Amino acid sequence: MPTLVDSSAHHGHDQADEGAETLPAIQDWIEARLHDPSLCPADIAAAHHISVRQLHRVFRPTGTTVARYIRTRRLEHCRRELGDPLLGAQRIGAIANRWGLPDAAAFSRAFRAAYGQTPTAYRSRAARRPPATGRPGKRLAVGPTGVA
């Protein structure tokens, strides 16, 4: 007599493995489209041929939501560019807009919430910092772990 095998536990394991393999591809896809202010979970899911629900499952192990991941990546890019002295002449709003954050007031609030200061204050402090370079001719000794 044939027996029924409960494949639900095994199937769940496959989904977790699939999610682990899918996450980097999805993150790369998102990264390439951060400039699009309309980027949303539905578009991301559709592009990867999964449901929005499955997309959220894929992100669950990261401890963040898809929308929060997008916002964090956008803010990180903006912060990096605000601290770049070569981009000092660019308007803050232009930088935010380039990274898919066209609403200046919402960008300023989100930046302040994430970094504890306004984009203007961050840029001002970054401009006063000396460049992060070592002294010419001086090398750091690196230990066996690769840490100086």
If you write DSSP's letter for every residue of the chain in order, what string do you get? -------HHHHHHHHHHHHHHHHHHHHHHHHTTTT-TT--HHHHHHHTTS-HHHHHHHHGGGTS-HHHHHHHHHHHHHHHHHT-GGGTTS-HHHHHHHTT---HHHHHHHHHHHHSS-HHHHHHHHHHSPPS-PPTT------TTS--
pLDDT for residue 146 is more than 50? no
Separation of alpha carbons 40 and 66, rounded Å: 8
pLDDT for residue 148 is more than 50? no
Q: Report pLDDT for 129.
A: 74
pLDDT for residue 64 is more than 80? yes
Q: Identify the residue with better confidence: 13 or 114.
A: 114
